[in-house]
Amino acid sequence: MIKNEEFQDEIGDNHVSLSAQNPIREDAFALSDDDKIEKIKKDVENILQTLGMDLTDDSLKGTPNRVAKMFVKEIFGGLNPNKKPKASTFDNNYKYGEMLVEKNIIVYSTCEHHLLPIIGRAHVAYISNGTVIGLSKMNRIVEYYAKRPQVQERLTMQIVQELQQALGTEDVACVIDAKHLCVNSRGISDIESSTVTSEFGGKFKDTVTRREFLDYIKLETKF
């Protein structure tokens, strides 16, 4: 029988996603952002001191506070539902019925297994059934779900599900091509590999429609 700790390490090293939803506790927002920053600041101080760093050095004095603010206000800001972008939609007055593709949306996320960066690009498409969404909102939806501890498969699904709900259609697709620094900078240390995930809904499950979308994006992503 595999010990629980070994099992958890295996899940993390293999980047397994166990849920389509982020594992957030019910009391996640009981503390204010300022309270969270103070608690995280002390934790970062403890980590650096344990590693043997001299926190009286001018270069390190502000690091715990900077890291704490970055966690709460920036790279994990997508955990806060108050920051969820309003998906402004409009009637499709132009009667445009073909595929709309927004490609090369920059993704900056954080692997929830090692808290190291995920850096890549998302390609998102939908076919209107009478409703359209502002182009910048597609970028903001990607950014919102990326700014949290993530697994790439989950992130891909969440983007599609959010757009399906906003647009009132199943005809949404997303492909993400990204580098994981937990693979590139540690472990196997393969600096060239990237991970591609996809989620296809509605008409995009059809081979011809899916092929059209993939031809548009061509997956020639460069970082």
| Residue numbers annotated as active site | 111-114, 152, 180, 182
Does 111 show up as a binding residue in the annotation? yes
> How many CA atoms are closer than 13 Å to the CA of 42, on its beta-carbon side?
5
Long-range contacts of 68-74 (CB under 8 A, 24+ apart): 68/36, 68/37, 68/38, 68/39, 68/40, 68/41, 68/44, 69/37, 71/36, 71/40, 72/33, 72/36, 72/37, 72/40, 73/33, 73/37, 74/147
Q: How does strand 195-200 pair with strand 172-180?
A: antiparallel
- Residue 176 pairs in a beta bridge with 122, 197
178 vs 175: CA distance, rounded Å: 10
81 vs 70: CA distance, rounded Å: 17
Q: Which residue's structure tokens are 């182009």?
A: 135
Query: Which strand (E) or helix (H) includes residue 214?
Result: helix 207-217
Does 174 show up as a binding residue in the annotation? no
Annotated binding residues for Zn(2+): 111, 114, 182
Which segments are annotated as binding site?
111, 114, 182
